[in-house]
Chains A and B, each alone.
Chain A
Amino acid sequence: MAPIAKEDLAELRRYLMRFALLHLRDRSRAEDAVQETLTAALEREDGFSGGSAVRTWLTGILKHKIIDVFRRQRRELATSELADDDAEGRDPDALFDAAGAWQTPPASWGDPAKMLEQKRFMETLEKCNGDLPERLAQVFTLREVTGLTTEEICSELGITPNNCNVMLYRARMGLRECLEKNWMTEGRPS
């Protein structure tokens, strides 16, 4: 086993912190998850051999720690008095009339490629993600940022495929609306 240099470890820790924060949205929870990840890694000396694979390996352990946190939260939420609707955001049905047609049809966003080049757009995306109800943001981030399949998310979090689809739908509707409000009207350079 090749020991990892101190500066490499600091860099790895910074990366893992960013990854954990992306999902957990809370510094102390993210620090706990990263600490648990590094502790678990040190206990399994065989895998800790240096090189670029270390980061991938540690990220894999961290993913499991993050999912553990989500599972614990879900158990706590299930026994609390929080109604599902409160925990899962606004019903997108309100965007449509009784016949299912748009109240306000989405307008064109222009050239999206240009938007992606702007740092402020990423900040808006981050803010909108932060504004989503926590359970929706968790599922959306696992799906779109970490790239898990819906099957993986369902089995890891113990939710039904239909519930998973509904949560992803609500997250996407919420993000779309938030981006339109915060970027298209104000942030967009004229």
Chain B
Amino acid sequence: MLSCKEVTRLLSESQDRELTLFEGLQLRMHLAMCKGCANFDRQMKFLRKASRQYAASVSRADRNDRSD
């Protein structure tokens, strides 16, 4: 059984590489039972979405600057 600490590390890595089947299974089991880690999981996905949106806003600001 994975600890919360191990789960946070795996959830971080899941954003950078494909987890193995076993890792994914262990993760899902833990998340089903642990509310704190389930919240953390949603927050990590949100952080990625927010960063992408931030990147997009950098390019958008470019178009807003245009005077033509």
Contact = CB atoms under 8 A, between A and B. Distances in A.
A176 B47 contact: yes
Contact of B50 (A22, A96, A116, A140): A116
Nearest to A165: B13
A173 B51 contact: no
A116 B49 CA distance: 9
A51 interface: no
Contacts of B42: 108-109, 112
A32 interface: no
A18 B12 contact: no
Contacts of A115: 46, 50
A93 interface: yes
A173 B39 CA distance: 13
Given A100-B5, A109-B42, A172-B44, A125 B36 contact: no
Contact of A109 (B43, B52, B67): B43
Given A93-B5, A99-B3, A106 B36 contact: yes
A92 interface: yes
Interface size class of A (residues with CB under 8 A): 35 or more
A11 interface: yes
Contact of B58 (A18, A109, A143): A18
Contact of A176 (B9, B13, B44, B65): B44
B8 A92 contact: yes
A131 interface: no
A168 B46 CA distance: 15
B55 to A, nearest CB: 4
Contacts of A15: 58-59, 62
Given A106-B43, A144-B52, A150 B65 contact: no
Contacts of A169: 8-9, 12-13
A40 interface: no
Contacts of B15: 168, 172
A109 B36 CA distance: 11
Contacts of A116: 49-50, 53
Given A102-B36, A106-B40, A106-B43, A18 B61 contact: yes
Contact of A102 (B4, B9, B46, B51): B4
A122 B57 contact: yes
8 contacts: A95-B5, A96-B4, A100-B6, A105-B37, A122-B50, A145-B55, A168-B15, A179-B43
